[in-house]
C-alpha cells in the first residue's frame, strides 16, 4: 500500500486497504483462479490504493455455479418471504452501522466528497435496501375471472404466481458505486433471485465491503457473489453465460448495446440504465434565485458524472446574460480538491481515461466555437481535477451538445420562444431526465407530457427517491431502478389454470 492523500483515514478503512482484497464466491473470500490482481487508484492523487482480485471467465463460471445452486436447490428460494426480509433488514442495519466507513471508502476510491457520499450515496443505498426489504411478503399475483368459451360447463380457477427470474448478472459503473450496488441487489434479493455482481474496475471497494456485510447479515452462501474485474473479460463472460437468466446493467449506451446483443444468444431478460444528455430548461418566468443554483448543481453534482446530469441548459434570449453570469459566479466559487475534505465541492474525475475524455470534449467545444464562460482547464498537476466549465452559445450541431460528456461541463443554448421547448428538449438520442424551471403551473402541465424522458423534474434536478422509479426512454435504456417498478424486471409471471 502507498501512503496516499494528506488525509488521515479511519482505522477501519486503513485495515480494509492494508492487503489485497479477494472476491466473494459461494460465501468464501477467494483469490482469482488465475492468481491475477488489478490495482484500484485514488483519483485525487493517482496513487494505488490497493490490489484487488481480478475475475475472469473461470471465476465467473464458479460464481454463476454458486448462484445457480443457491437458486435451484439452496436455502434462498425455499426461505419464507419474512425470512428473506429479515436478512435484508439486517444488511441495511449493518450498512447503517458502517455508513461512515463506507462513505470514506467511496470518497477514496471514486474521488467524491465524503460528506455528500454519506448524505446521498450511502444513505440512499441503506434506505433502498430497507425499502426493498419490505417487499418479499407483499409481492402478489392475482386471481383471474376465467371464461374459457370452448369448454362449456367446465369450471376453472385461474391465478398468477410471481416468481423470481433466477440467477441475475449485475454489471455496475463507477459513478455511484455503493448506490448502484444497492439499486441492483435490492430488487433482486427482494424477489428471491440470486446474484453475480461485477463492480466497475475503477471502484470495486465499497461493493466488496458490502459483500462482507452480506456475509455478516447471514445470507446463505451463493446468494450474492461479487466478482471484480474488467468489462471485456469478467463482464463479457457474465453476459454470455448460459446459466444466467437476466442481466441488469448500468453504464454507457455503447456497452449496453454490446450486452443486449450478447444476451440475445441465450435470450436473457435484460434491463438497461444507460447514458443521457438531459436538458435543464429555464422558462422566462422562472425564479432565477432558484433556477441558477439549481442548474449549476444539475451539472456539477458528482463532477457531472451522473447519467441524468443537466448537461444541456436552455435559456431564453431575454435572460441569457443574467443566467450565464450567475452560473459563472457559482462555478468560479466552488472549492476544488480532494473529496476527503468535505469543503471541496469539486472533486476529481474517476480516472485518467475520464479526465482525458472530458478535456477532449472541452477542446472540441472550443474548436467548434463555444464561449468558455467559466473553467475550461485542469486544476493542479496530479489527480484528475477538471474545473467546473460553462460552454456558452452552443448549438445543436456541436459534438459537445450531441454526445454525453460525463464531466462538469454544461452546454448553454439560447431559445426564443417557449413553443420551441419540446422539440429542443427531445433533440437527442437519449431520454433519461429533464428539468423545467418555472412558476407557472400551466407550463408544467403543457410541457411535461411532451418530453420523451423517464424523469421530469420541476424546479429541481437529479432528485432521486427510493419510491420513485428511475429509468430511460430511447437510447437511455429500458426497465426501472427504484420504486415498486424495479421489482417487475426481476419477476416472472406464471399463469396457473385448474380445471375442476
Ligand atoms: P462502461 O459502460 O464501459 O462501464 C460500465 C460497466 O460495464 C463496468 O462495470 C464495465 O466493466 C462494464 N463493461 C464494459 N465493457 C463491457 C462488456 N463488453 N461486457 C460486459 N460489461 C462491460 O463505462 P465507462 O467506459 O466506464 O465510461 C464510458 C462512458 O460511459 C462515460 O464517459 C459515460 O458517458 C458513460 N457512463 C454512463 C454511466 C451511467 O450511469 N449511465 C456510468 C458510467 C459511464
Ligand atoms: Mg469502458
Give residue 476's pLDDT. Answer: 98
Residue with the nearest Cα to atom 13 of ligand 1?
231
Claim: this prediction has a pTM higher than 0.85: yes
Which of the 8 DSSP states describes residue 218?
Answer: T
Closest CA to 388 of 433, 329, 343: 329
Give residue 3's pLDDT. Answer: 42
How close is the Cα of 231 to the center of ligand 2, in Å?
7
**Cβ neighbours of residue 206 closer than 8 Å, sequence gap 6 or more:** 102, 105, 106, 109, 177, 178, 181
Closest CA to 348 of 77, 140, 68, 110: 110
Give residue 1's pLDDT. Answer: 38
How close is the Cα of 39 to the center of ligand 2, in Å?
16
Provide the Cα torsion 176, 182, 185, 188; round to 10°.
-110
Residue 81 pLDDT exceeds 50:
yes
Ligand with smallest separation from the Cα of 203:
1
Task: Work out the pLDDT band at 4, boundaries 50, 70, 90.
Answer: very low
Which ligand 1 atom lies nearest to the CA of residue 230? 11
Pocket of ligand 1, candidates 54, 173, 244, 479: which has the most ligand atoms within 8 Å of its Cβ, to mutate?
173
Task: Work out the pLDDT band at 78, boundaries 50, 70, 90.
Answer: confident
Provide the Cα torsion 454, 456, 461, 464; round to 10°.
-50
Which ligand 1 atom lies nearest to the CA of residue 407? 32
Give residue 350's pLDDT. Answer: 98
Task: List, for residues 416-471, the tens digit of each pLDDT value.
Answer: 999 999 999 999 999 999 999 999 999 999 999 999 999 999 999 999 999 999 99
Location of each CATH 3.40.605.10 domain in the chain: 5-274+477-497
Location of each CATH 3.40.309.10 domain in the chain: 279-466
How close is the Cα of 203 to the center of ligand 2, in Å?
13
> Is the CATH code 2.30.40.10 the one for domain 5-274+477-497?
no
Given a contact cutoff of 8 angstroms between Cβ atoms, the answer to whether 203 and 177 are in contact is yes
Ligand with smallest separation from the Cα of 231:
1
Per the DSSP assignment, residues forming a β-bridge with 412 are 313
What would the mean pLDDT of 331-338 be, rounded to a whole number? 98
Output Rg (C-alpha) for the chain, integer angstroms.
Answer: 24
How close is the Cα of 269 to the center of ligand 2, in Å?
22
Residue with the nearest Cα to atom 16 of ligand 1?
231
DSSP string for residues in 355-411: HHHHHHHHHHHHHTT-EEEE--SB-SSSS--B--EEEES--TTSHHHHS---SSEEE
Task: Work out the pLDDT band at 411, boundaries 50, 70, 90.
Answer: very high
How close is the Cα of 50 to the center of ligand 1, in Å?
22
Residue with the nearest Cα to atom 26 of ligand 1?
173
In percent, the amount of the chain with pLDDT more than 70 equals 99
- C-alpha cell of residue 115: 460528506
How close is the Cα of 120 to the center of ligand 1, in Å?
22
Q: Out of 54, 85, 106, 273, pick the active-site residue.
A: 273
Closest CA to 168 of 22, 28, 270: 270
Spatial distance between the Cα atoms of 158 and 145, rounded to a whole number of angstroms: 7
Given a contact cutoff of 8 angstroms between Cβ atoms, the answer to whether 58 and 26 are in contact is no
Pocket of ligand 1, candidates 207, 228, 251, 273: which has the most ligand atoms within 8 Å of its Cβ, to mutate?
251
Ligand with smallest separation from the Cα of 259:
1
Per the document, the length of the chain is 500
Given a contact cutoff of 8 angstroms between Cβ atoms, the answer to whether 261 and 239 are in contact is no
Ligand with smallest separation from the Cα of 180:
1
Residue with the nearest Cα to atom 30 of ligand 1?
252
Spatial distance between the Cα atoms of 247 and 420, rounded to a whole number of angstroms: 39
Task: List, for residues 302-316, the tens digit of each pLDDT value.
Answer: 999 999 999 999 999
Active site residue 307: yes
How close is the Cα of 66 to the center of ligand 1, in Å?
26
Residue with the nearest Cα to atom 14 of ligand 1?
231
- C-alpha cell of residue 448: 411535461
Given a contact cutoff of 8 angstroms between Cβ atoms, the answer to whether 216 and 447 are in contact is no
Closest CA to 432 of 466, 411, 406, 409: 406
Q: Out of 307, 308, 404, 411, pick the active-site residue.
A: 307
Question: Long-range CB contacts (< 8 A, 24+ apart) of 112-117?
Answer: 112/302, 112/303, 112/339, 112/347, 113/339, 113/342, 113/344, 113/345, 113/347, 114/339, 114/340, 114/341, 114/342, 115/342, 116/302, 116/342, 117/339
Ligand with smallest separation from the Cα of 254:
1
Which ligand 1 atom lies nearest to the CA of residue 173? 5
Ligand 1 pocket (Cβ < 6 Å) reads: 171-173, 175, 198, 200-201, 230-232, 235-236, 239, 250-252, 255, 258-259, 273-275, 307, 357, 404, 406
The class level of CATH for 279-466 reads: alpha beta
Which ligand 1 atom lies nearest to the CA of residue 198? 9
Spatial distance between the Cα atoms of 84 and 387, rounded to a whole number of angstroms: 46
Given a contact cutoff of 8 angstroms between Cβ atoms, the answer to whether 133 and 462 are in contact is no
Which ligand 1 atom lies nearest to the CA of residue 476? 41
Task: List, for residues 82-140, the tens digit of each pLDDT value.
Answer: 999 999 999 999 999 999 999 999 999 999 999 999 999 999 999 999 999 999 999 99
Stretch (H or E) spanning 280: strand 278-282
Mean pLDDT of the chain: 97
How close is the Cα of 319 to the center of ligand 2, in Å?
39
Amino acid at each position: 500500500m502507498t501512503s496516499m492523500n494528506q488525509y488521515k483515514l479511519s482505522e477501519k478503512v486503513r485495515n480494509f486497504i492494508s492487503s489485497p482484497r479477494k472476491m466473494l464466491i459461494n460465501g468464501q473470500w477467494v483469490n482469482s483462479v488465475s492468481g491475477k490482481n488489478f490495482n484500484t487508484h485514488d483519483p485525487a492523487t493517482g496513487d494505488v490504493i490497493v490490489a484487488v482480485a481480478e475475475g475472469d471467465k473461470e471465476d465467473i463460471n464458479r460464481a454463476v455455479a454458486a448462484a445457480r445452486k443457491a437458486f435451484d436447490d439452496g436455502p434462498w428460494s425455499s426461505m419464507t418471504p419474512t425470512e428473506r426480509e429479515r436478512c435484508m433488514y439486517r444488511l441495511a442495519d449493518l450498512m447503517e452501522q458502517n455508513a461512515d466507513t463506507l462513505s470514506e471508502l467511496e470518497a477514496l476510491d471514486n474521488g467524491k466528497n465524503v460528506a455528500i457520499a454519506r448524505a446521498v450515496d450511502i444513505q440512499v443505498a441503506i434506505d433502498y435496501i430497507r425499502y426493498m426489504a419490505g417487499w418479499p411478503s407483499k409481492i402478489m399475483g392475482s386471481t383471474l375471472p376465467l371464461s374459457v368459451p370452448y369448454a362449456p360447463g367446465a369450471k376453472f380457477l385461474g391465478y398468477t404466481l410471481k416468481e423470481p427470474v433466477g440467477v441475475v448478472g449485475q454489471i455496475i459503473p463507477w459513478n455511484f458505486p455503493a448506490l448502484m450496488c444497492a439499486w441492483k441487489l435490492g430488487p433482486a434479493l427482494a424477489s428471491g433471485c440470486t446474484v453475480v455482481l461485477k463492480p466497475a474496475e475503477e471502484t470495486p471497494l465499497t461493493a466488496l465491503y458490502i459483500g462482507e456485510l452480506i456475509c455478516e447479515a447471514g445470507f446463505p452462501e451463493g446468494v450474492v457473489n461479487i466478482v471484480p474485474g474488467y468489462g471485456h473479460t469478467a463482464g463479457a463472460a457474465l453476459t454470455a453465460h448460459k446459466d444466467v437468466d437476466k442481466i441488469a446493467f448500468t453504464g454507457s449506451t455503447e456497452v449496453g448495446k454490446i450486452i443486449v446483443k450478447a444476451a440475445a444468444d441465450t435470450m436473457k431478460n435484460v434491463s438497461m440504465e444507460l447514458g443521457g444528455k438531459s436538458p435543464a430548461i429555464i422558462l422566462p418566468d422562472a425564479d432565477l434565485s432558484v433556477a441558477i443554483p439549481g442548474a449549476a448543481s444539475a451539472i456539477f453534482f458528482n463532477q457531472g458524472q451522473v447519467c441524468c446530469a443537466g448537461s444541456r441548459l436552455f435559456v431564453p434570449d431575454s435572460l441569457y446574460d443574467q443566467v450565464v453570469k450567475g452560473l459563472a459566479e457559482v462555478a468560479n466559487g466552488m472549492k476544488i480538491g480532494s473529496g476527503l475534505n468535505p469543503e471541496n465541492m469539486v472533486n476529481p474525475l474517476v480516472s485518467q481515461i475520464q479526465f482525458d475524455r472530458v478535456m477532449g470534449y472541452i477542446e472540441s467545444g472550443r474548436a467548434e466555437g463555444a464561449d468558455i464562460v467559466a473553467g475550461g482547464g485542469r486544476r493542479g498537476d496530479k489527480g484528475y481535477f477538471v474545473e467546473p466549465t460553462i460552454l456558452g452559445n452552443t448549438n445543436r450541431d456541436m459534438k459537445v451538445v450531441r454526445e454525453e460528456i460525463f464531466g462538469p461541463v454544461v452546454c448553454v443554448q439560447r431559445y426564443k420562444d417557449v413553443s420551441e421547448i419540446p422539440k429542443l428538449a427531445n433533440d437527442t438520442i437519449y431520454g433519461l431526465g429533464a428539468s423545467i424551471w418555472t412558476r407557472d403551473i400551466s407550463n408544467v402541465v403543457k410541457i411535461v407530457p411532451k418530453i420523451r424522458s423517464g424523469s421530469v423534474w420541476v424546479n429541481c434536478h437529479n432528485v432521486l427517491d427510493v419510491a420513485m422509479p428511475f429509468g430511460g426512454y430511447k437510447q437511455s435504456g429500458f426497465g426501472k431502478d427504484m420504486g415498486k417498478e424495479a421489482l417487475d424486471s426481476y419477476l416472472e409471471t406464471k399463469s396457473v389454470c385448474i380445471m375442476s
